[in-house]
Chain A
Amino acid sequence: RKEVEQDPGPFNVPEGATVAFNCTYSNSASQSFFWYRQDCRKEPKLLMSVYSSGNEDGRFTAQLNRASQYISLLIRDSKLSDSATYLCVVNSNASGAGSYQLTFGKGTKLSVIP
């Protein structure tokens, strides 16, 4: 089983649509969770951290279910500029400070169509 699995995609949605990305992780000791965004031929950029209580940043909402080892990202009212690959990322360091190794999912490509 892969450490971090995501919807294979790609997702092609019209402007204004709501789109959801799902992700599961295998290491139950994982401590921190993130969504990164990667534009074509660019480096990944942190979109948002994912907290146990769920968190929202404008049109973006992230949810975490530790029992199911499941993470989600919801984008509302999608814009053309949201087109990118969305990476589910897990920090599986269970030993506290000193190591912040991240494990990346393969990413789900989103294309928002006019």
Chain B
Amino acid sequence: GAVVSQHPSWVICKSGTSVKIECRSLDFQATTMFWYRQFPKQSLMLMATSNEGSKATYEQGVEKDKFLINHASLTLSTLTVTSAHPEDSSFYICSAADLLEETQYFGPGTRLLVL
């Protein structure tokens, strides 16, 4: 399957700081990438859909000013958690849409811990 990387894999930060997470599709061009969040023992919840060259589409209940998404190229999307708070601590996973297989390949995820 396709390869998607995510960086960093772990982040520990103080409350109030901003954290940037990068998602890259390494062997294919992804016009669409997705950002998910998963709390312990919960299912993946889609936060937003990121389209190259246009604004992201956010799911209901997700604050677009808090979770800034930029999809500047066909291989890179970034998620910035602004002014992070302890309740933002979670497992953030990106995925890239594979148009041929009509499915998504996931990055390894980023664990964020806000103290």
Contacts and interface: CB of A to CB of B under 8 A. Distances in A.
Contacts of B107: 43
Contacts, number: 52
Interface stretch (B11-19, B42-50, B78-86): B42-50
Nearest to B31: A98
A104 B43 contact: yes
A97 to B, nearest CB: 7
Given A97-B99, A107-B43, A102 B109 contact: no
Given A97-B99, A101-B34, A104-B43, A42 B104 contact: no
A107 B44 CA distance: 10
A87 B93 CA distance: 15
B46 A32 contact: no
A107 B32 CA distance: 24
For the residues of B in contact with A, the DSSP-based class is strand
B106 interface: yes
A43 B105 CA distance: 9
Nearest to A89: B103
Contacts of A106: 42-43
Given A100-B32, A100-B97, A106-B43, A43 B106 contact: yes
B1 interface: yes
B102 interface: yes
A42 B49 contact: no
Interface in B1-52: 1, 32, 34, 42-44, 46, 49
Interface of A: 31-32, 34, 41-46, 49, 87, 89, 91, 97-102, 104-107
3 closest Cβ pairs, A-B complex: A43-B106, A100-B97, A106-B43
